[in-house]
Chain A
Amino acid sequence: MTTMTDPPKASFRLSQLIYDTRYRSYTFQFIALILLAALMAYLGANLVTNLADQGQNISFRFLAEPSGYDINQRLIEYDSQSSHLRAAVVGVLNTLIVAFLGCLTATILGVVAGVLRLSPNWLVRKLMAGYVEAFRNVPVLIWILIIFTIMSAVMPPPNAFRGDNATASMVFDAFAFTNRGVYTPAPIWGAGSLVVVLTFLASIIGVIYYRRYATRLLYDTGKLLPMGWPSLVILFLPSILVYFVMGQPISLDYPALKGFNFSGGLHIRGSLIALWFALAIYTGAFIAENVRAGIQAVSKGQTEAAASLGMRPNRIMKLVILPQALRVIIPPLISQYLNLTKNSSLAIAVGYMDVTGTLGGITLNQTGRAIECVLLLMIFYLTISLAISAVMNVYNQSIALKER
């Protein structure tokens, strides 16, 4: 006969909270939560006391009050009677402009420099290595200041363009580089220009469709259609035809010297150019390294395998190397874009009125609402960052190697 003993009675002792792995994590999390709450309460209490001492409060009502300052570069209607909120929006738009221009230029520079760093040409290779090292190892703020100095102290003043013995002259009679910024021709959108623009957009879609059709034809029947020149023809011919049929609705407004300054055309300020180029060249150096690493990450066997299938070098690059290299390049590329956007807040050093200059600069100083302004500023940058990284995650998932 066997006697059954009861299983040991599960009695809960307090020491189990620390020594029993089943309960220990709850204890730790509880302690962490308590500590966090205590810290928050402590900081909050300090905040309340400090605000009460200075007779202040937290309120966002100042956003609706007139700002009382001017912004020299604005995409939307704005004057000194507009609200602080509108000033912030102008700043946001300026941030987005410089971020967009910077990312575009940085990508071009980075890809060119990264590919050239792998060139068989010794001199070019060394030059590009010099560019990358020089820009990666010096703070971007110093580069911004250097380019700003070129734009503001080296460029001739507008009156140097005047008179019979002018010391400076316009490039192609269209571009004027002055210490107040660069003046370029601006397009004037006449009646019917919308048709031209729409035609051009339609041509872009047409090119995409043509290329898809050609690819499908190649895969289905093996018939190879030319890609290069038909794309160019589809892209430009209809637009040019429509442009002349509509009677040349789009014309250019050239800048001209009037009085002490240039007028007409498009005025790009030195601060925008300094910020744009410095960020682009600086970030371009980092992108160049990413591109180089991406190309080198594709093993040599891939090139050789493609070559043994009888592919020509440019097709090897396009069909075999690049698709694999892009998988490595894109994620760090996106984080470089993010860095560039965040670095654009250095605009405040050269007086470019981005969101840090308006909301975090003049608005903060005028209203004294430090907490509110900095909070809004952080929320703005945080939103951009999180949005971009969300997009990046989706992209990464779509491009990830489909394994078993």
Chain B
Amino acid sequence: MSHDNIAFHRKHMLPEAPPPVTETGAIKWLRENLFSSIPNGILTVVSAYVVLTIAMAAAPWFFNGVWDSPSLSACREMLDGRTGACFAVLTERWNQLLFGFQYPSRLYWRPTLAFVLLFVAIAPVLFIKYTPRGLLVLTGLYPFIAYWLIWGGSIVVPVVALLGVLFGAFVYRRTMTASAGVAVIAGIVAAMVFWWAAGAVTAGLSGVMALEPVASRDMGGFMINLMLGVICVSLSLPFGILLALGRQSSMPIVKWICVAFIEFIRGVPLITLLFVANVVLAYFLPPGTTFDLILRVIIMITMFASAYIAEVIRGGLAALPRGQYEAADSLGLDYAQSMQLVILPQALRISIPGIVNVAVGLFKDTTLVSVISMFDIVGMIRGPILASTEWNGVYWELFGFAALLFFITCYGISQYSQWLERQLQTDHR
């Protein structure tokens, strides 16, 4: 059978034609993403108008900004009636915004160094897959170094504290084989005894390698926000784990103590807890003891954060399949071992995004201490800076700067958390 009786058929391939103009390049993208339908087109035009209006208003304000001027009135003179920001307040009050107005200026290098070292210390934890395990020693040493740098005083104090922790850990290791519960108690008691004994022995050594001491009440600015954030989050992790385990426990009394604590803390606003730190907590301490306000605030914020972290971890524990618990039991592991080796590593991994959320929220909430007249960055702006005669009336530059600092930090943390989530995904999807 031949094809000759067919009226027409093509004998050659047609040359490749370019796609229609509307289906390629920028036009296709615009059509699909901005003008796919009439309502969408209207929406695009309206939002472009909004963006442009804001940008047009903000651009001269930003680019005319004055960066060098002693006061607001001088700044206005330099602007000469043009719209423009007065960023000079940031350059002039830079140190106050970061360190508060009472931290001795010749000692600024110490908190700065502690801040830089913070990155060295948390890097091994953050990128645990990519750094050698040995670097974790740095993380362990960091709290003691940072304390010494920020508060000053003799190096004996942090060294004794470190040795006490090491001694406690040593005792814990040795008694571990008997019973985990007993080992924990023995470790804590050993550390306490060590501190007590070492405190008596080293009482005369207060001048050894002493940095100039700085009182807590002299600290302020963004430094306080960072300190409260870092200290309280790291302290609340172990407490949060304990509370979560307690809440999951089969022992009713332990369980109800934990439930009551968690629900109470989560039910009240942080501000009332800060009121407690400010005016009430002193009543419950032994007569004659005076705690720093900052220490009282750290206690209350840590309690606050542990309750929230406990709930996140409880979610992680509940999300583990029942089989994991049973598998650990069937291997003959006791409670402490099964938690340590099987349950917690998995539960904590699931809870990381939640924990990061709590940490970001907590870091933002550290601004609340300005309400109980501590001079964190918001307190500095509202107090000494806006009340000064030179800078009375510079709102946007200051609040914008504070907002920017928090945005950078919190956005960075949440981006890290998303990256980590992708890293830790062990299931294959």
Give the chain B neighbours of A364 by CB distance below 8 A. 275, 279
Q: Verify if B406 is at the interface (C-beta below 8 Å from A).
A: yes
With A32-B257, A46-B283, A46-B286 in contact, do A123 and B407 touch (Cβ < 8 Å)?
Answer: no
Report the nearest B residue to A49, measured CB to CB: B287
Give the chain A neighbours of B284 by CB distance below 8 A. 43, 46-47, 50
Q: Which residue of the partner chain, among B40, B51, B382, B393, contacts A121 with CB atoms under 8 Å?
A: B40
Give the chain B neighbours of A231 by CB distance below 8 A. none
Give the chain B neighbours of A32 by CB distance below 8 A. 251, 253-254, 257
| Among A142-150, A159-167, A317-325, the stretch in contact with B | A142-150
Proximity bits, B272-298, A CB within 8 Å = 1, else 0: 100110011011111100000000000
Q: Verify if B346 is at the interface (C-beta below 8 Å from A).
A: no
In the complex the two chains form, is A29's CB within 8 Å of B251's CB? Answer: yes
| Among B75-83, B98-106, B260-268, the stretch in contact with A | B260-268
Bound state CA distance, A328 and B360, in angstroms?
Answer: 23
Bound state CA distance, A328 and B267, in angstroms?
Answer: 22
Q: Which residue of the partner chain, among B43, B267, B364, contacts A382 with CB atoms under 8 Å?
A: B267
With A121-B40, A145-B399 in contact, do A342 and B407 touch (Cβ < 8 Å)?
Answer: no
Q: Which residue of the partner chain, among A47, A119, A141, contacts B378 with CB atoms under 8 Å?
A: A141
In the complex the two chains form, is B378's CB within 8 Å of A142's CB? Answer: yes
Bound state CA distance, A343 and B286, in angstroms?
Answer: 32
Give the chain A neighbours of B47 by CB distance below 8 A. 121, 123-124, 127
In the complex the two chains form, is B382's CB within 8 Å of A145's CB? Answer: yes
In the complex the two chains form, is B279's CB within 8 Å of A385's CB? Answer: no
In the complex the two chains form, is B365's CB within 8 Å of A139's CB? Answer: yes
Proximity bits, A38-60, B CB within 8 Å = 1, else 0: 00000100110111010000000
Q: Verify if A386 is at the interface (C-beta below 8 Å from B).
A: yes
| Among A3-11, A83-91, A130-138, A245-253, the stretch in contact with B | A130-138
In the complex the two chains form, is A121's CB within 8 Å of B36's CB? Answer: yes
Bound state CA distance, A374 and B399, in angstroms?
Answer: 30
Give the chain A neighbours of B64 by CB distance below 8 A. none
Report the nearest A residue to B29, measured CB to CB: A122
| Among B115-123, B157-165, B230-238, B366-374, the stretch in contact with A | B366-374
Give the chain B neighbours of A49 by CB distance below 8 A. 287
Report the nearest A residue to B381, measured CB to CB: A145
- Within 347-365 of A, Cβ neighbours of B (below 8 Å) are at 348-349, 356, 360, 364
Give the chain B neighbours of A140 by CB distance below 8 A. 364
Report the nearest A residue to B254, measured CB to CB: A32
Bound state CA distance, A188 and B368, in angstroms?
Answer: 41
Bound state CA distance, A28 and B245, in angstroms?
Answer: 14
With A342-B268, A374-B276, A385-B267 in contact, do A121 and B33 touch (Cβ < 8 Å)?
Answer: yes
Q: Verify if A228 is at the interface (C-beta below 8 Å from B).
A: no
Give the chain A neighbours of B268 by CB distance below 8 A. 342, 377-378, 381-382, 385
Q: Verify if A153 is at the interface (C-beta below 8 Å from B).
A: yes
In the complex the two chains form, is A137's CB within 8 Å of B411's CB? Answer: yes
Q: Nearest chain A CB to B255's CB is how many angstroms away?
A: 9
Bound state CA distance, A134 and B284, in angstroms?
Answer: 41
Give the chain B neighbours of A120 by CB distance below 8 A. 32-33, 36, 40
Give the chain B neighbours of A370 by CB distance below 8 A. 275, 279-280, 283
Q: Verify if B321 is at the interface (C-beta below 8 Å from A).
A: no
Q: Nearest chain A CB to B33's CB is how many angstroms away?
A: 4
In the complex the two chains form, is A149's CB within 8 Å of B411's CB? Answer: no
Q: Verify if A371 is at the interface (C-beta below 8 Å from B).
A: yes
Q: Verify if A345 is at the interface (C-beta below 8 Å from B).
A: yes
Most buried by A among B271, B395, B403: B271
Bound state CA distance, A327 and B29, in angstroms?
Answer: 35
Q: Beyond A123-B51, A142-B399: 15 further Cβ-contacts under 8 Å? A: A33-B253, A46-B284, A120-B32, A121-B47, A123-B34, A127-B50, A133-B411, A137-B364, A142-B402, A149-B399, A345-B269, A346-B271, A374-B276, A378-B272, A381-B268
Using a CB–CB cutoff of 8 Å, the interface residues on chain A facing chain B are 18, 25, 28-29, 32-33, 36, 43, 46-47, 49-51, 53, 119-124, 127, 133-134, 136-142, 145-146, 149, 153, 342-343, 345-346, 348-349, 356, 360, 364, 370-371, 374, 377-378, 381-382, 385-386
